[in-house]
Structure 1
Amino acid sequence: MTGPQTSRPHDVRAFFGARAAGWDAKFPDDGPAYAGGVAALRLREGQRVLDAGCGTGRALTALRTAVGPGGTVLGADLTPEMLAAAVRAGRDACAGLLLADVTRLPLPSAALDAVFAAGLVSHLADSAAGLAELAELARVVRPGGRLALFHPVGRAALAARKGHPLTPDDLRAEPNLRPLLADSGWDLVQYVDEDDRYLALAVRQG
């Protein structure tokens, strides 16, 4: 997801809650891009994966396919309206849905093999907020597990779409993201920022 530059949960809920009903219709062609982002995690049958900030659940079908019927797929989002839209789309059949802040997930430590997060870093205003989110994701993933920070549009293309310039303090830029990930328990192993894809793939430190 992509939303306001803020770390305040109330603002995030207000922004996405007002847009939830029409969210999928606004981005009707993102399915293949999401499937490609999920593929980068290289999930295996029977693994446990979380879609953090799952929104309307556009990645959940691909995640379920990747881990098979014996795997575990969870989708967590802060906005009730987004989760309701996921249910209306039938995506709750692919995953268990959690109304939760990704900085305080109701999951045990090292419970997961991987996390997929689409647009999650985009709405954060500062590195402190990013550190809190990424550290919590590290807590719930086993050592050696993976994290995919994904967006179906690269930073430059997204900025152009919104009429905003790219700025040096963008948390998604590799020079900013790499140390942020390292400080929160992750090692960045792949970074792609192209017009049609943003992907930062990290491995949980041991």
Structure 2
Amino acid sequence: MSDDHTRVRDFFSARAADWDNRFPDDGPAYRAAASELGLRPGGRVLDAGCGTGRALPALREVVGPQGAVLGIDLTPAMLEAATRAGRGREGQLLLGDVTRLPLRDGALDAVFGAGLISHLPDPAANLRELRRVVRPGGTLALFHPIGRAALAARQGRQITEDDLRAETNLRPLLSGAGWHLTSYVDEDARFLALAVRQD
């Protein structure tokens, strides 16, 4: 396991047991974001870096009982918390690495990543891997239930110019990885960047 992977796993392992209690009111924001993925009943979607699976119920609502919902995370403790919360009933939980997904090319209609991009060890390469598993014209959603400024304030820091989630940084990063940014919202109540897989 790389140093980046160890750092991410250690960070989330220490927080897994209390993660959902820290953010109890995020459900509506997840539902709103999931509804914008363009998924239909029977669709196939991955929650990349799913953590405790908070997005899984919202994704299941969109694709319905015939759809496929997968959640993959690097941290066993987060997946255990997801299972305890009953979210394994909403989708299949997998221990794995979003930088090397155990999925065939074009297997999915969409990828949802909540808080994901700041934890990717090589964002350009990792976004290409997410592209690989999405069908042509499929969607990527990079989401956070609060915007960049609100998140920085919560963490007691300032937003810097090199923030990957800034539109001026994110647009070319996505483009270089084969995605076209179609929508960008960064407001106090949420961050949501939607992109479509380009061929």
* Structure-1 separation of matches of 2:82 and 2:127: 24
TM superposition outliers: structure 1 runs of 4+ over 4 Å: none
Aligned to 2:178: 185
TM-score after normalising by structure 2: 0.97
**Which residue is equivalent to 1:36?**
32
Name the CA distance, whole Å, in 2 between partners of 1:162 and 1:40: 28
The superposition leaves residues 165-192 of structure 1 with CA deviations (integer Å, 9 ceiling, x where unpaired) of 1100000001110011011110000000
Q: Match of 2:103?
A: 107
Structural mapping, 1:9-88, within 5 Å? 9-88=5-84
Question: What is the count of residue pairs matched by the alignment?
Answer: 198
Instruction: Report the alpha carbon displacement of residue 133 of structure 1 after superposing the two structures with TM.
Output: 1.6
Determine if contact 1:7/1:123 at 8 Å carries over to the other structure: no
Task: State the SS of the aligned residue for 2:14.
Answer: helix
Query: SS where residue 28 of structure 1 aligns?
Result: coil
Is 1:90 aligned with 2:83?
Answer: no
Mapped to 2, the partners of 1:124 and 1:105 lie a distance apart of: 13
For the residues of structure 2 that align with 1:199 and 1:9, how far apart are their CA atoms?
25
1:189–1:203: 8 Å Cα contact kept in structure 2? yes
Q: Distance in 1 between matches of 2:88 and 2:138?
A: 24
Unaligned runs of 5+ in 1: 1-5
- Provide the residue aligned with 1:122 in structure 2: 118
Contact preservation (8 Å) 1:7, 1:124: no
1:133 — aligned with what? 126
Provide the alpha-carbon RMSD of the alignment. Answer: 1.3
Q: Which has the higher contact order (CA 8 A, sep 6+)?
A: 1
Given that residues 45 and 112 in structure 2 are in contact (C-alpha distance below 8 angstroms), is that contact kept between their aligned partners in structure 1? Answer: yes
Q: Counterpart amino acid of 2:55?
A: A
For 1:3, the equivalent position in structure 2 comes to none
1:152-177 Cα distance to aligned partner (Å, 9 max, x none): 01001111111111100000001110
1:122 Cα shift?
2.2
Which of 180, 197, 200 aligns to 2:190? It is 197
List runs of 5+ in structure 2 lacking aligned partners. Answer: none
